[in-house]
Amino acid sequence: MEKRNRNATIAWLVVSFAVFIVMIGLGITMRLAQGLRIEIPPNTFYALMTMHGLGMAGGLFAGALSIIWYIISRTCKVSLAVSWFSWVLFLIGAVALLYATLIGGFGPGWYALYPLPFINAAWPSWATGVAIIALLIMGVSWLLYQLDMLRAMAAQYGASRLLAWEYIAGKKPAEPLPAVILIASMCAIAGALGTLSGAVTLILYLLKWISPGVSLDALLLKNTMFMFGHVIVNVCIYCGLCAVYHLMPKYSGRPWGVNRITAIAWNATLFFVLFAYFHHLYMDFAQNKALHIIGQITSYGSAIPATAVSLFGIASQVYKSGMKWRFTPTAFVLGGMGWAIGGVAAVVDSTIMVNSYFHNTLWVPAHFHTYFLVGYIFMFFGFLHDFFNSKAERFAISSFVGMLVGGYGFLSMFYLGGYYGVPRRYAAYTAIQVGDIANKGALFASLGALFAAVFLLSAIAFAISLFAGRSKATAEAVATT
C-alpha cells in the first residue's frame, strides 16, 4: 500500500512541478514584454497572464494537497481510487484551460471579474465556456480529494478531535493528536469551503454563458470569487507548513507536537482566513463599510497566529539541536523566512490606509510572489528532496543558492515597481502617461526577467539533483549489500 500511495503522490508532484516550470516560462515572457525586450500583442499578454495566474495557483495547490495526502496516508486509510480519479480530472481541467487561454485567447485575469468575460470580450465565446468548465472540473477534483482526506482523518482520529479542541479546553488526551493532523484538517476544511465558493461562482458563470440574458450581482460574485482565490492560495502555504511540521523533527531529533497555543493559533487561522479576503475589495465603494473593517482585522488575525507559532516552532527545532544543515531543513528554514517576509508585505497592504496607495501597483504581485516563490516553493522543494531520498546534497544546495539570488532579485524588482507606483497588469508600460514611471517600470521588468531566468535554471538544476541524488542513493545501497 505504501508503494501505491507513493506512486499516486508522485503523479501529483510531477504534474505540479511541471506546471510550475512551464508557468515560470510564461511569467518571464510577460516580464520581457513589459521590459520592451520582446513584442507581444496586448491580447496575448492577458491570455498569458490569465493562464500564468490560474496555472501557478491551481498547479501548486494541487501539489500541496498531495503533500498532506501523502503525510496523512501514513496513519489514515485515504482512498487511492479518489486520488487517481481527482488526478485525472485535474489533468483534463488543466489541458482544457491551456486550450482556452493559449489557443482561445481567454484573458480576463485569474479572477475573471464579472461581467468582464461576457461583455465585448476580445476572445471568442467558446473560450470563455471552455475556461469556466475547465475550472469547474478542477474544482470538483480538489473537492473530492479534500473531502476524502477529511473522511479518512475523521475515521482514524474521530471527527471531534481533528481540530484539537480538547487541547484548547485544557484536557490532556490519552492519545496525543499529531500536529500534522491538526494542520491537514484545517487545510482540508478551509480548502473545501474555498473550493465550494469557487464552484458556486463558476456555476453561475456557466449559467450566464449558456443564457446571456441572465443578470447576476457583480459585487456578490467578486466576493465569492475572491473568497475562493484567497483561501486556496493560503491553504497551499499551510500545506507546505504541514510538511515542515512533519519532517523537521526527523532532522532536529526533537518532537513537534500539539499544545494549547498551537491548537488556538491554527483554529484562529482557520476562522480568520475565511474572512480575510475582504481586503481585496477595499476599493469597492458599494461594499458595506463594516466588511472593510472586518477585512483589516481578520487579515491581521489570519496572518499572525499561524506565523508566530510556526516560526517559533522552527526556531525551537533548530536552536542548539546540533542539526546538520542538509537541503531539506535549510529549505524549510529559508522557506519559513520567505513566507514571513511576504506575509509582512501582505499585512502592510491589507492595512486600509496603505492599500489606498499601493492598490493595483506592483506591490500586490510583489507580496504574493514572495510567499509563494521563496516561501511555499522552498518548503515544496524541501519536501521533494526528502520524499525522493535524494543524496545529492551539494548539487541541491548549489541550485538553492541560484534560486535565492534569482528569487529575491526578481521579487525586488516587483517591490521597487510598487514603491515607485508602477501599476500592475499593464501589457506595455509605454501606455503610462508619466514618462519617469514608464521608464522605471520597463527597467525593473527587464531586470526582473533576468533574475527570473536565473531562478528557472536553478529550479531545473534542482530537478536534475533529484535524479542524480536517487542514482547516488541506489549506488550506495548496492555498495553496502
Q: Which residues bind ligand HEM (CB under 6 A)?
A: 24, 27-28, 30-31, 49-50, 52-53, 56-57, 60, 109-110, 365, 369, 372-373, 410, 424-426, 452, 455
| Closest approach of ligand HEM to the CB of residue 451, in Å | 8
Instruction: Point out the residue whose Cβ comes nearest to ligand HEM.
Output: 27
Query: Which is closer to ligand HEM, CB of 224 or CB of 252?
Result: 224
φ/ψ of residue 361, rounded to 5? -100, 175
| Closest approach of ligand HEM to the CB of residue 378, in Å | 11
Query: Which is closer to ligand HEM, CB of 30 or CB of 127?
Result: 30
Give Cβ neighbours of residue 363 (< 8 Å, ≥ 6 apart). 345, 349, 414, 415, 417, 418, 419
Query: Which is closer to ligand HEM, CB of 31 or CB of 292?
Result: 31
Query: Which is closer to ligand HEM, CB of 144 or CB of 362?
Result: 362
Burial of 71 (0-12, 13-18, 19+ CB in 10 A): buried
| Closest approach of ligand HEM to the CB of residue 480, in Å | 39
Beta bridge partners of 361: 423
Residue type, 327: F
| Closest approach of ligand HEM to the CB of residue 293, in Å | 26
CA 481 to each of CA 340, 392, 475, 477, 478: distance values in angstroms, whole numbers, following the listed order: 45, 21, 10, 6, 5
On the CB side of 465, CA atoms within 13 Å amount to: 24
Helix residue ranges, H only, 35-79 = 42-73
Query: Which is closer to ligand HEM, CB of 27 or CB of 313?
Result: 27
Query: Which is closer to ligand HEM, CB of 30 or CB of 153?
Result: 30
| Calpha distance 65→165 (Å, rounded) | 23
Preceding peptide of 117 cis, ω within 30°: no
| Closest approach of ligand HEM to the CB of residue 455, in Å | 5
Burial of 264 (0-12, 13-18, 19+ CB in 10 A): middle
| Closest approach of ligand HEM to the CB of residue 409, in Å | 10
Query: Which is closer to ligand HEM, CB of 343 or CB of 365?
Result: 365
φ/ψ of residue 37, rounded to 5? -85, -30
What is the SS3 string spanning 334-396?
A: HHHHHHHHHHHHHHHHCCHHHHHHHCCECHHHHHHHHHHHHHHHHHHHHHHHHHCCCCCHHHH
| Calpha distance 15→62 (Å, rounded) | 9
Query: Which is closer to ligand HEM, CB of 87 or CB of 444?
Result: 444
| Closest approach of ligand HEM to the CB of residue 453, in Å | 8
Beta bridge partners of 245: none
Query: Which is closer to ligand HEM, CB of 28 or CB of 345?
Result: 28
| Calpha distance 247→261 (Å, rounded) | 20
The answer to whether residues 96 and 130 touch, using CB atoms and an 8 Å cutoff, is yes
| Closest approach of ligand HEM to the CB of residue 411, in Å | 9
Q: List the end-to-end C-alpha distance of the chain, in Å, as a whole number.
A: 25
| Closest approach of ligand HEM to the CB of residue 237, in Å | 10
| Closest approach of ligand HEM to the CB of residue 28, in Å | 5
Query: Which is closer to ligand HEM, CB of 47 or CB of 192?
Result: 47
